[in-house]
Amino acid sequence: MTLNIAVLVSGRGSNLQSIIDNIENGYIKDAAIRVVVSDKEDAYALERARNHGINAEFVDPSAFSDKDQYESRILEILDGYDVELLLLAGYMRLLGGGIVRHFKNRIINIHPALLPSFKGLHAQKQALEHGVKVAGCTVHFVDEDMDSGPIILQKCVPVLDDDTEDSLAERILREEHRIYPEAVKLYAEGRLDIKGRIVSIS
């Protein structure tokens, strides 16, 4: 059986590309991205999807009277593709409870910090301002709070004395491109078990 995946995006989609590449090269087996959905019409991630023959859809939040209606439309799209796993790849909106409950323990996100530290936007800037010596990235399941769901994988990177927000972000991004496909592979293989806040890998 092939695992049907959807990806929500807002920007350039480099993490989306890393997952596409790892499906195409056979590292992630028995999985396929069925649709990529963006809240930004000009998101380059949509172009990446089309370049690989993946359905790409723009849903304009401003066309709906409220967040619930907007997310109901997204759910319609996802259900239309029989989506089983929902990935967030640079999606810049906090998911509402409707989607989170519909896909309970079936939504995965990547965040450019070692959670639970430095949640939300500008995580690299937060890390530098706090003077941490180690930063990194986290792949986690999504719950109804921001960047707070059970942690699947993490990777550390050193913080250098001359780091800027951009240089640190670039170094973290290289690790994101490694651990996000790895987490998807583990999910596709049925090797992730969630008990409370703890994710065990078999």
Nearest to residue 111, comparing CAs of 100, 103, 122? Answer: 122
- pTM of the full structure: 0.97
The domain locations on the chain are 1-104, 110-202
Of the candidates 177, 33, 187, 18, the residue with the CA atom closest to the CA atom of residue 105: 187
The CATH H-level superfamily of 110-202 is Formyl transferase, N-terminal domain (3.40.50.170)
1-104 has which fold?
Rossmann fold (3.40.50)
Give the active site residues. Answer: 111
- Divide the 202 residues of the chain into consecutive groups of 10 and give the mean pLDDT of each group: 98 98 98 98 98 98 97 98 98 96 98 98 97 98 96 98 98 98 98 97 98
110-202 has the same fold as 1-104: yes
How far is residue 12's CA from residue 45's CA, in Å, rounded to a whole number?
Answer: 5
Which of 170, 151, 163 has its CA nearest to residue 110? 151
Give the model's pLDDT for residue 16. 98
Q: Determine the pLDDT at residue 168.
A: 98
Q: What is the pLDDT of residue 189?
A: 98
